Amino acid sequence: MADNMNASEAPASSAAEISETRHRSGTARKLSWFMLTVIWLGVVGFGLSWMWAYEATPGDATESLAHWPSDSRLELNPGRPTLLVFAHPRCPCTRASIRELAVIVAHCPDSVDARVLFFRPTNFADNWEKTDLWFSANEIPNVIAVSDENGIEASKFGATTSGYSMLYDSSGKLLFRGGITGSRGHSGDNAGRSAIESLLMNKVTDQKQSFVFGCPLFGEADKHCQED
């Protein structure tokens, strides 16, 4: 009789153990998935935070000349303001600056003489600076793309970041300096563009300078720059 009871209890005991084992295994899997999800969200959150911080970090601030440098080879337009934009030809985020320049010219037709100066090291191949940015700039009415060998002109004007823009009046007085985008690689309304348009249309602005967002002008363009 006892043997029969032990025999009948054994399967029930084994079934309970199997059920407990499955329960523990399921709980462990759920915990593993939960931990992986937390880690994944943390990595994604860190990446997004880094990207947002990077896009919102301006380039080096510089002290620009208050008057057009007398030793510059660039010609100042005596009849209307001259806008200079210094650019690295391989800085992806500068595409946004070129787009904003096109907006400025479209909003203020025949009110400004604009030039985009593209950095080019003299020891690099000919036409190295003539990337899509060069041709995009040249397609804008009243805008001329210019090669700036070794950044000589940029150094004279105090530009060190791609996208740095400077507006001078017809007498050579500096009216505005800074960037014409609100962050790296993003087009849209921003303080720099609004200030330049106000100066060209109304001759006044409360904004004399703005942050500039772009790669260092001298050297290799930042590989982390992203186009919007």
> For residues 30 and 38, is the Cβ–Cβ distance under 8 A?
no
pLDDT digits (tens, 9 = 90+) for 5-22: 454 555 555 766 666 666
Which token pair is 227?
Answer: 């186009």
According to the model, what pLDDT value does residue 114 have? 97
Residue bearing tokens 């320049």: 101
According to the model, what pLDDT value does residue 224 have? 41
pLDDT digits (tens, 9 = 90+) for 123-182: 888 899 999 999 999 999 999 999 999 999 999 999 999 999 999 999 999 999 999 998
The residues, ordered by sequence, that sit 6+ positions from 63 with a Cβ below 8 Å of its Cβ are 158
Strand ranges across the sheet with 164-168: 143-149, 113-120, 82-87, 164-168, 174-178
Mean pLDDT in residue range 61-87: 90
pLDDT at 49 over 50: no
Range of 11-25, 35-49, 114-128 with top mean pLDDT: 114-128
Average pLDDT taken over every residue of the chain: 81
Does the predicted TM-score (pTM) go above 0.85? no
One CATH from 3.30.460.10, 3.40.30.10, 3.30.450.20, 3.40.50.300 for 82-202:
3.40.30.10
pLDDT at 98 over 70: yes
